[in-house]
């Protein structure tokens, strides 16, 4: 998950209440954490929350990208992947509605700072979380330029927020998505890795801004591919989850 990037300023600490926890794909839970009564969280799409996970040795701090739009100030939503043997993800997956947890927010600088270009978002797994926030935010603010999402998984059931992406595309002609699966031999759609799909899916490659989120190997492969296609490095932004 993203690491804290700004240690100079003080951030607010809240006691969140879990009000929703739903499995959105095998091993991935969509969680809604509601703010304390009378409190609002002002944040930017792409930022994250640092949760304080109770642990036998004390408290473990773990960062999770906020998956909900900044339009919603009374709660934040997360997409949490259950990691085998992972203390933090196991604890979060075991939480029930009504449970409370301490957290610090907002943190991070993985932000959209220039809206003069069209955007291409490239993710695998729960790396799509900040892009859910960004895409919803842009569409809510009536962003007219095209938005592209290239989203990779291994198998069809793994696709997180699938119906939501399909519904968004149906309602917003400027939002276009592509799912690509690397191991599902029964899948009738695109197959292969995300970096292999950029050139054919995205027109006028050099004129876009690119945001990449996921594990290091994927980010390196996508970044190298974009540079080889002539995309200026200043138009490429990424957040590593490992």
Q: List, for residues 108-120, the tens digit of each pLDDT value.
A: 999 999 999 999 9
pLDDT tens string 137-175: 999 999 999 999 999 999 999 999 999 999 999 999 999
pLDDT band with cut points at 50, 70 and 90 for residue 1:
very low
> Is residue 1, in this structure, part of any structural domain at all?
no
What size, in residues, is the chain? 242
Helix (H) or strand (E) holding 77: strand 75-81
For the segment 187-236, what is each residue's pLDDT rounded down to a tens digit? 999 999 999 999 999 999 999 999 999 999 999 999 999 999 999 999 99
* Residue 217, both tokens: 């190997």
Tell me how many domains the chain contains: 2
Is the pLDDT at 103 greater than 70? The verdict is yes
Alpha-carbon gap, residue 227 to 233, rounded angstroms: 7
Instruction: Give residue 242's pLDDT.
Output: 81
More confident residue, 57 or 41: 41
The residues near 228 (Cβ < 8 Å, ≥ 6 apart) are none
User: Is 4 within the bounds of a domain?
Assistant: no
- Name the pLDDT band for 58 (thresholds 50, 70, 90): confident
The helix or strand, by DSSP H or E, that contains position 103, with its residue range, turns out to be: strand 100-107
| Same domain for 101 and 124 | no
3 within domain boundaries: no
| pLDDT(2) > 80 | no
Whether residues 29 and 71 fall in one domain: yes
pLDDT of residue 33: 98
**Angle CA 178–180–182, to nearest 5:** 170
Residue 113 forms part of a structural domain? no
Q: Among residues 58, 85, 107, which one ends one of the domains?
A: 107
Distance CA 42, CA 47 (A): 11
Q: Can you say whether the dihedral through the CA atoms of 218, 221, 227, 230 is positive or negative?
A: negative
Query: How many helices (H) and strands (E) are present in the chain, helices listed first?
Result: 5, 12
**What percentage of residues in the chain have a pLDDT greater than 90?**
93
Per-residue model confidence (pLDDT) at position 86 = 92
Q: Find the CATH number of the domain harbouring 216.
A: 3.40.50.80
Spatial distance between the Cα atoms of 182 and 200, rounded to a whole number of angstroms: 17
Closest by Cα among 94, 93, 103, 36 to 63: 103
CA–CA dist 229, 155 (Å, integer) = 28
**Residues 182, 227: one domain?**
yes
Q: Output the pLDDT for position 168.
A: 98
Cα separation, 136 vs 120, whole angstroms: 14
Q: Domain containing 95: what range?
A: 12-107
Q: What is the CATH number of the domain that holds 56?
A: 2.40.30.10
- In this structure, is residue 2 part of a structural domain? no
Phi, psi of 221 (to 5 degrees): -65, -45
Measured between alpha carbons, how far is 206 from 80 in angstroms, rounded to an integer? 33
């Amino acid at each position: 998950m993203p690491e804290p990037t700004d240690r100079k300023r003080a951030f607010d600490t809240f006691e969140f209440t879990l009000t929703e926890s739903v499995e959105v794909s095998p091993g991935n839970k969509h969680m809604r954490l509601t703010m304390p009564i009378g409190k609002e969280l002002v944040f930017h799409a792409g930022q994250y929350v640092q949760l304080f996970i109770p642990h036998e040795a004390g408290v473990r701090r773990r960062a999770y990208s906020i998956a909900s739009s900044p339009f919603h100030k009374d709660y934040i939503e997360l997409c949490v992947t259950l990691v085998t043997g992972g203390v933090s993800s196991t604890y979060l997956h075991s939480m029930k509605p009504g449970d409370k947890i301490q957290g610090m927010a907002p943190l991070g600088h993985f932000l959209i700072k220039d809206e003069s270009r069209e955007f291409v978002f490239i993710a695998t797994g729960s790396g799509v979380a900040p892009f859910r926030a960004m895409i919803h935010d842009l569409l809510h603010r009536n962003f007219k330029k095209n938005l592209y999402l290239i989203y990779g998984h291994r198998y069809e059931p793994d696709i997180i927020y699938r119906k939501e992406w399909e519904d968004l595309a149906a309602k917003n002609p400027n939002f276009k998505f592509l799912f690509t699966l690397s191991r599902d031999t029964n899948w009738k759609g695109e197959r292969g890795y995300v970096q292999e799909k950029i050139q054919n899916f995205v027109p006028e490659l050099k004129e876009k801004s690119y945001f990449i989120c996921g594990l290091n190997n994927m980010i390196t492969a996508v970044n190298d591919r974009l540079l080889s296609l002539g995309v200026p490095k200043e138009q490429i932004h990424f957040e590593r989850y490992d």
